[in-house]
Amino acid sequence: MIQTKIFGHRGSMGTMPENTLLGFLQACEWGVDGIELDVQLTKDGELVVIHDETIDRTTDGAGYVKDYTLQELKQFSAGVKFSNLALFDKHVWSKERIPTLEEVLEMITPYQIELNIELKTDMFPYDGIEEKVLAIVHQFDYADKVIYSSFHLPTILKLKKLEPSARIAWLLVYELSRPSEYIQSLALEGLHLHKDLLLNKENYGLSADDFKIRVWTVNDQKEMEQLVNMNNIDTIMTDYPKEALFLRNVQSLKF
């Protein structure tokens, strides 16, 4: 039985400030197989790791990411709003800043885990983001461990054209009929599916050799158990990677 991989969703956002170096480091130290993060471009063309197009929800600032330079974004705390999760000194959390993709890669390189980079281009085009992402990944010689994903299909197709060896995956919240045909015609490495597509019915019941299925965002223990026991699931992405890793280890002892 193939062991299902566990990816920390935005680090460990159920217990740590999301998309921060602190959260990524904690997930790495727990032993995750990979982490998932989101990238966008600043006003001065720098790659930053943040989920929303605005900084309102996750920082003590306000406005669109694209309207700030990197230096301006670094003035805001990316941890202060997550004090309700605090396991550590809140003062430490308040010092967290929106990281650059370069900073994250520098931190995770010693762990040699997989990295799912989601390009957040479904709202704003972020001209040149594909080239910039590839350049940073190659700077750290990390290309063989990266999966590139997006809801915006043209983005990952452009990235694949720029780098034919890149692993690209389409993020989906709806069902595809005959998914293997999309995989073949678009040269996708996999599909990143909302958990309900798999939990409601096993409509992607193809062998793991056909394409990679990665599921998001799985936080309920029973749902984790159900998905871990499906033979065709490559990866589970979760806000609680520590709990998922423990559950997977327990499940593996049953076989």
**Catalytic one of 9, 91, 138, 194:** 9
User: What DSSP element (H or E) covers 148?
Assistant: strand 146-150
Torsions phi, psi for 236 (to 5 deg)? -110, 130
Active site residue 51: yes
The two tokens of residue 229 are: 């026991």
| Dihedral sign for Cα atoms in the order 47, 49, 51, 57 | negative
Active site residue 192: no
How many helices (H) and strands (E) would you count in the chain? 10, 9
Instruction: For residues 23 and 56, give the distance between their C-alpha atoms in angstroms, rounded to a whole number.
Output: 19
Instruction: For residues 107 and 25, give the distance between their C-alpha atoms in angstroms, rounded to a whole number.
Output: 7
Distances (CA, A) of 184 to 69, 72, 197, 208: 40, 43, 21, 15
Q: Which residues are the active-site residues?
A: 9, 51
